[in-house]
Amino acid sequence: MRSKTKGFSVNANAAYLAYTGEEQLLHPNPQYGFGVGGQIQYGITHQIALAVGYQAYKIKTDNEYVIDPYSYTEIDLLFKYTLGSTSSPFRSNLIGLVNFVNTEQSFYDAQFNDYYETFFSGISFGGGAGIAYFFAPQISAELSLFYQFTQLTEQEQSSIFGDFTYDIDIPLRSYKGLLGLAYHF
């Protein structure tokens, strides 16, 4: 056996995220940033696995009213279907995901010469594909690429005027890349 994907595994990864809004309600230009994350996975078989992941990014912006960089986090629920044989050191996979998004941004209000904290949250659906190279049956390097449809649905704002929560409807489209190392127990 050259690759083991059945049972528990953990991975740590470097991450890249780029997103844009369909109507540019949140930012006028695409946003991008780098981060770190990890996953805990359970391989039901050598082909089918469920995983939970977390990524934390620092997003760069050219919006003059937003403090740069700002934080963007994701909690992923993933379904993976791994292709190929356990006798091969290369294994590709197809991935479906649902994730929960939260971003914290500090905006400058020139009218009141004040900064206010704003939290946006929502849910994403998407899919992707990846490839893993197994150095040993239990250790692999993995690269995964995703496309996601995100809907921001809530905005919480804290300023000198108090704390407010709003229902919002801001669609985003994002690309995500993860590169990491995994240990398969």
pLDDT at residue 57 greater than cutoff 90: yes
The domain limits of the chain are 7-184
pLDDT at residue 147 greater than cutoff 90: yes
Unique residue bearing structure tokens 């089918």:
48
User: Was domain 7-184 assigned CATH 2.40.50.140?
Assistant: no
Q: What is the pLDDT of residues 105-139, one digit of tens each?
A: 888 777 777 778 889 999 999 999 999 999 999 99
**Residue 66 has what DSSP assignment?**
B
DSSP H or E run through 49: strand 48-60
- Percent of the chain topping pLDDT 90: 66
Across 110-161, where does the E strand assignment appear? 114-136, 139-159
Mean pLDDT, rounded, of the chain:
91
Q: Which pTM value belongs to this model?
A: 0.90
Partnered with residue 156 across adjacent β-strands are: 119, 165
Instruction: State the pLDDT at residue 1.
Output: 67
Partnered with residue 41 across adjacent β-strands are: 9, 51
Average pLDDT over residues 163-175: 89
